[in-house]
Amino acid sequence: MRLVVFGWGNDARGDDGLGPLLLNRVARAGWPDMTTVEDFQLQIEHALDLDGAEAALFLDAGKNTPAPFAFAEIEPARSATPTTHALAPEAVLDVYARFASRRRHASRSASAANDSNLAKACRRRRASGSRRRGRSFRA
């Protein structure tokens, strides 16, 4: 089963970098048939990353998320935002479903983002220059 894992956020904003931090750990696991995608925010173009995948996982920090995290299956949903940038995962799934006439199994993991140690880890990662913005990597 081919899996695509998205991690987004901005580690310059402290715990908002949780998505990319978790994505980095997932990528190091080296699971077969997995593609990781990291960016500052989800955009309409990320629907293209779903092509050929059987499942998707979206990793992000969450506001008011119960510790340590919340995990849920998600469905395509049209976005009410007037922009194609900063989309919700459900909106990315909707774009894909409309252009490909197919749906993908998808889940979202939102982690509690109020830990000062997490913010420190995000700052260390940013300082190390290990960001891989806007590119996909196949494990």
**CATH number of residue 119's parent domain:** 3.40.50.1450
* Angstrom distance (rounded) from CA 20 to CA 16: 9
Confidence at residue 139, expressed as pLDDT on a 0 to 100 scale: 40
Cβ proximity of 50 and 92 under 8 Å: yes
Residue 58 lies inside a defined structural domain of this protein: yes
In a domain, 94, yes or no: yes
Q: So what's the pLDDT on residue 56? A: 94
Q: Does residue 40 sit within a domain?
A: yes
DSSP H or E stretch at residue 92: helix 89-100
Average pLDDT over residues 117-125: 57
pLDDT in tens, 32-55: 999 999 999 999 899 999 999 999
Q: Give the structural domain span for 41.
A: 3-133
44 lies in some domain:
yes
Count of Cβ atoms closer than 10 Å to residue 103 Cβ: 13
Q: What distance lies between CA 108 and its chain's CA centroid? A: 8
Least confident span in 1-5, 34-38, 89-93, 112-116: 112-116
Percent of all residues in the chain with a pLDDT value above 70, rounded to a whole number = 71
> Smallest Cα–Cα separation from 45: which of 14, 1, 11, 87?
87
| pLDDT for position 120 | 59
Cβ(112)–Cβ(133) under 8 Å? no
Q: Per the structure, how many domains does the chain have?
A: 1
In a domain, 7, yes or no: yes
Residue 91 lies in a domain: yes
Kindly report which listed range (55-59, 66-70, 78-82, 130-134) carries the lowest average pLDDT score: 130-134
Peptide bond into 89 cis (omega under 30): no
Return the higher-pLDDT residue of 91 and 86.
91
Q: pTM for this structure?
A: 0.75
pLDDT surpasses 60 at 130: no
